[in-house]
Amino acid sequence: MNDTDQTTCIPFEDRKRHPKLWFDDGNIILTTNLSIFRVHRSILAMNSSVFADMLSIPQPDTACIAFGGLPIVELSDDDEDFTHLLHFFYDHRYYYGGKITTFSIISGLLRMSTKVLCFPLTDDRMMVQGELFPPFKGQHFAVAALARETNASILLPAALCRSSCEDVDIITDGVAEDTGKIHQLSQTDLKRCLKGKCSIYASSVRFAFLLPSYLTSEKCKRDDVKGCRLIAKTKTKDYFSRDIVNIDVFGHWDPSDSWSRLVCDGCRLAAYARTDEFRRSLWAKLPSHFGLPEWGNDG
């Protein structure tokens, strides 16, 4: 949010008022090199601590009589990225998990998030949601690239994890949007992704075969835990006798899917609880599967 060099901007009088982000009762003027926004100081401060701090400091005596003497703040941020940010400030439904979006919106918000911290994608939120990011073709490859570009390292393990759920040829070649833009991993992240795919697969298969042993007589509702275990073991072997190559642990895959309806309620609930523990443990160690620093350690 630094003052921009005037030589890089088109003349102020040639910049356009934004048609949707111009409010007659706004009390501050923001301008990029292309657009002018009349917005509300309170909205800016409420959504961003950076704006709150900036607006609490006396600003230079820069105002324009054409705008009723309102203060003008010139910004060096990209016009399109900053427009997406303001849209999000005024309506948080502009971006939320599961909603169809565009690469332009998600990339703009991710870039701006490194400056104003308005886009809090925490590891808990990403683990709980089935869709880590609003859907578009090649989304996980694109977010991995943006994580590198914006130094948003907290996004990288999850982006690579979701990328690893794809078929190997897709991971290798990338995915093209309808516009023709191809999203693919860098060579470094491609190697990390394939390594992580193998590592998570091995951990998941190992847990799937151990899961029947976690069924206990204390939980069994028909006093036949051996029968429930036998069903679980047999169905697990049958399941993996097929060509299973892609496992989405944080999405739709569950190791008890093939037998949970065949065992008693107690054993089924015990399996769900153990699986939840496994997912949480896997999430805690997720960066290590991709050869990345542990959560919270950017070093």
pLDDT per residue over 191-208, tens digit each? Answer: 999 999 999 999 999 999
Distance CA 19, CA 36 (A): 10
pLDDT for 95 equals 60
Task: Please tell me which residue, 131 or 137, carries the higher pLDDT value.
Answer: 137
pLDDT for 152 equals 72
Q: What angle do CA 134, 129, 140 make, to 5 degrees?
A: 45
- 269 pLDDT band, cuts 50/70/90, is very high
Q: With beta carbons less than 8 A apart as the criterion, state whether 174 and 184 touch.
A: yes
Q: Choose the weakest-confidence range: 12-26, 99-113, 175-189.
A: 99-113
What are the DSSP E strand ranges found in 114-161? none
Tokens of 266: 């107690």
pLDDT in tens, 96-121: 555 555 566 656 555 555 444 333 33
Burial group, residue 275, by CB count within 10 angstroms (0-12, 13-18, 19+): buried
Mean per-residue pLDDT over the chain, rounded: 79
Tokens of 237: 């072997």
Domain residue ranges in the chain? 6-93, 201-287
Distance set, CA 85 to CA 88, 89, 125, 153 (Å) = 5, 6, 20, 20
Q: Choose the weakest-confidence range: 106-110, 220-224, 228-232, 273-277.
A: 106-110
pLDDT for 243 equals 77
Distance CA 214, CA 272 (A): 11
pLDDT for 78 equals 77
Task: Please tell me which residue, 59 or 296, carries the higher pLDDT value.
Answer: 296
- Cα four-point dihedral sign 143, 146, 152, 156: positive
Task: Please tell me which residue, 134 or 274, carries the higher pLDDT value.
Answer: 274
pLDDT in tens, 73-100: 887 777 887 888 888 888 866 665 555 5
Give the residues across from 278 on adjacent strands: none
Q: Choose the weakest-confidence range: 5-9, 109-113, 216-220, 267-271.
A: 5-9
Distance CA 228, CA 213 (A): 10
Distance CA 51, CA 27 (A): 14
Q: Choose the weakest-confidence range: 42-46, 66-70, 278-282.
A: 66-70
Across the range 125-154, mean pLDDT stands at 65
pLDDT for 61 equals 53
Tokens of 174: 């990338």
Distance CA 105, CA 211 (A): 42
Across the range 3-32, mean pLDDT stands at 75
pLDDT for 123 equals 39
Q: Choose the weakest-confidence range: 90-104, 131-145, 233-247, 267-281.
A: 90-104
Task: Please tell me which residue, 95 or 187, carries the higher pLDDT value.
Answer: 187
Q: Which residues contact 149 (CB under 8 A, 6 or more apart)?
A: 111
Task: Please tell me which residue, 38 or 52, carries the higher pLDDT value.
Answer: 38
> Is 3.30.710.10 the CATH number for 6-93?
yes
Distance CA 290, CA 253 (A): 20
